[in-house]
Amino acid sequence: MIDNFINGAFVPSSAQRSLPITSPLDGSLLDEVLCSTAADLDNAVQAAAAAFPGWSRTPIKERVQVFYRYKTLLERDGQELAALVSRENGKTLDEAVAEIGKCIELTEFATSLPQLVIGDVLEVSRGVECRAEHVPLGVVASIVPFNFPAMVPHWTIPNALALGNCMIIKPSEKVPLTLQRVAALLKEAGLPDGVFNMVNGDSEIVQAICDHPGIEAVSFVGSTRVAKLVYQQATHRFKRCLALGGAKNHLLVLPDARPDMTAQHVVASMSGCAGQRCMAASAMVGVGAVDHIIEKIVEEARKIVPGRNLGAVISFEAKQRIERYITEAEQQGAKVLVDGRNAQVPGKENGTYVGPTVIDRVKPGMAVATEEIFGPVIAIIRVDDIDAALAIENASPYGNAASVFTQSGSHARFVMEHAQAGMIGVNVGVPVPREPFSFGGWNESRFGAGDITGTPSIEFWTQLKKTTVKWDSL
């Protein structure tokens, strides 16, 4: 049974309900997670509030020493953590190793915060100075999804804590195991008790977080449906909130794009992490004569084999949902060029695999063209010109990412200027900005202001204290 982590110790939850945790790789039962109650959350908030005065008054250069040590622990235990990520999430071991690498990069960024968070001071009139400094908020919460059991929590943990806050994190009830190890490593790195707390559970505990008067700020990453609920509920309680939602990312492919490189990027983007990335390519808009590139995409997709270089999707329900999208598109006249339905991995018959799927001749109004599929599926829509391609991208209510593949600088610039998405790629299939640049979409991919990572995260995790000082000189 998975425990909560409160005040530096693993403690049982008072929950009456529990949920099984199964491995998508083979369907085996890994553990059980208890659905914590508001009383469990309250214990965590009290522990965090008690730790806050000491931690927030610790100089930032001292606070980040914990994260220098933590980074070396992530390096020491990287393989073990990656194995855990793969087992509970279903992604391949290589993908899980890359995910831990990203956690290390995010932790490195947090160690640079003392250089970035310096305030301002100015003598505004003779003998009078104004100072502005970033001070922590207090107890903050982070609610995370299943698709990156390690990386998404590291979008928030190192920065929020290094900036002096105390945190309560709510792991996804589908993948709570990795964060158990993270809690133990943070303690080993010397993080004082109560600064980092973890409460497991499902929607009930999320609602309790949004309602709790002792929590100042809530960050959320997950689907747009839940992001809206969390944003509304948390801000209704006057909390600061940044809620990242789902996505429908378009790759615009022009006829002059380099065929091999483009095909590799399209297929890697749609099939990496079994398509369960908010940055995954889900629709490709082919502009004009792109048959030669689609042929290459089909070739590349056939190299992706479930159980070898393609992981499992999170659950049987997810597999059914993804296969429904494919079948519906086919019934509506689209052409399935590579079909990932009914994928089986020998010896892992209870695993939940969907093979790579390429669907051509998709019409813009079809569900497979407009909705987030969250599986290794690319829907290809054909248009005559770049204006029509951009119109499809910009008609999406989401706005996480968009990429263009071309050798024309002018066409690339046109897309860079006009695409309504927070993260744009040029000849890049997964345009995730790396630190110190920040991660964050637009429109229904994000509710609230600012970005969750990089330098802009300072704005979210701190508030400005302005002090006016007057001392007469001797």
Q: Which residues are catalytic?
A: 278
Provide the minimum distance between the beta carbon of 224 and ligand NAD in the complex, in angstroms, as a whole number.
Answer: 6
Cα torsion at 101, 458, 400, 387 (round to 10°)? -120
Provide the minimum distance between the beta carbon of 286 and ligand NAD in the complex, in angstroms, as a whole number.
Answer: 24
Provide the minimum distance between the beta carbon of 433 and ligand NAD in the complex, in angstroms, as a whole number.
Answer: 12
Restricted to residues 117-136, the positions that interact with ligand NAD (CB under 6 A) are none
Provide the minimum distance between the beta carbon of 321 and ligand NAD in the complex, in angstroms, as a whole number.
Answer: 11
Exactly one of 8, 136, 145, 356 binds ligand NAD (CB under 6 A); which one? 145
What is the amino acid identity at position 415?
Answer: V
183 alpha carbon, distance to own chain's centre: 19
365-398 burial, b if ≥16 CB within 10 A, otherwise e?
Answer: ebebbbbbbbbbbbbbbbbeebeebbebbeebeb
Q: Which is nearer to ligand NAD, 208 or 293 (CB)?
A: 208
Euclidean distance between CA atoms 12 and 324, whole angstroms: 39
Q: Which is nearer to ligand NAD, 107 or 200 (CB)?
A: 200
215 binds ligand NAD per the rule CB under 6 A: no
352 binds ligand NAD per the rule CB under 6 A: no
Euclidean distance between CA atoms 66 and 69, whole angstroms: 5
The count of other CB atoms within 10 Å of the CB of residue 469 is: 12
Alpha-helical (H) ranges within 354-433 are: 367-370, 386-395, 409-418
242 binds ligand NAD per the rule CB under 6 A: no
Euclidean distance between CA atoms 225 and 141, whole angstroms: 19
Alpha-helical (H) ranges within 141-247 are: 151-162, 177-188, 203-211, 224-236
Give burial (CB, 10 Å; 0-12/13-18/19+) of 470. Answer: exposed
Exactly one of 165, 172, 197, 453 binds ligand NAD (CB under 6 A); which one? 172
Q: Which is nearer to ligand NAD, 284 or 318 (CB)?
A: 318
**Number of amino acids touching ligand NAD (CB under 6 A):** 27
223 binds ligand NAD per the rule CB under 6 A: yes
396 binds ligand NAD per the rule CB under 6 A: no
Nearest to 92 by CA among 321, 398, 395, 310: 310
Restricted to residues 275-314, the positions that interact with ligand NAD (CB under 6 A) are 278
Provide the minimum distance between the beta carbon of 177 and ligand NAD in the complex, in angstroms, as a whole number.
Answer: 14
Exactly one of 215, 218, 241, 247 binds ligand NAD (CB under 6 A); which one? 247
Spell out the residues 6+ positions from residue 238 whose beta carbon is closer than 8 angstroms to its own. Answer: none
Provide the minimum distance between the beta carbon of 377 and ligand NAD in the complex, in angstroms, as a whole number.
Answer: 14
Exactly one of 91, 154, 170, 240 binds ligand NAD (CB under 6 A); which one? 170
Exactly one of 100, 110, 143, 257 binds ligand NAD (CB under 6 A); which one? 143
Provide the minimum distance between the beta carbon of 113 and ligand NAD in the complex, in angstroms, as a whole number.
Answer: 21
154 binds ligand NAD per the rule CB under 6 A: no
Q: Which is nearer to ligand NAD, 147 or 370 (CB)?
A: 147
Provide the minimum distance between the beta carbon of 33 and ligand NAD in the complex, in angstroms, as a whole number.
Answer: 10
Provide the minimum distance between the beta carbon of 84 and ligand NAD in the complex, in angstroms, as a whole number.
Answer: 17
Q: Which is nearer to ligand NAD, 221 or 421 (CB)?
A: 221
173 binds ligand NAD per the rule CB under 6 A: yes
Nearest to 404 by CA among 384, 394, 419: 419
Instruction: Give the side-chain half-sphere CA count within 13 A for 138.
Output: 12
Cβ atoms of residues 378 and 282 within 8 Å: yes
| Partners of residue 28 on adjacent β-strands | none
- Helices 60-76 and 93-111 sit at what angle, rounded to 10 degrees? 160
Stretch that binds ligand NAD, among 219-227, 252-260, 341-349, 358-366 (CB under 6 A): 219-227
60 binds ligand NAD per the rule CB under 6 A: no
Give burial (CB, 10 Å; 0-12/13-18/19+) of 358. Answer: buried
246 binds ligand NAD per the rule CB under 6 A: yes
146 binds ligand NAD per the rule CB under 6 A: yes
Q: Which is nearer to ligand NAD, 205 or 293 (CB)?
A: 205
462 backbone dihedrals φ, ψ, rounded to 5°: -135, 170
3-state helix, strand, coil in the chain (%, to 5): 40, 25, 35
Binding mask 365-384 for ligand NAD (x = CB under 6 A): -------x-x----------
Sign of CA dihedral 172, 186, 438, 282: negative
Exactly one of 400, 403, 438, 462 binds ligand NAD (CB under 6 A); which one? 400
Q: Which is nearer to ligand NAD, 170 or 240 (CB)?
A: 170
List contacts with ligand NAD (CB under 6 A).
143-147, 152, 170, 172-173, 202-203, 206, 221-223, 226, 229, 244-247, 278, 372, 374, 400, 441, 445
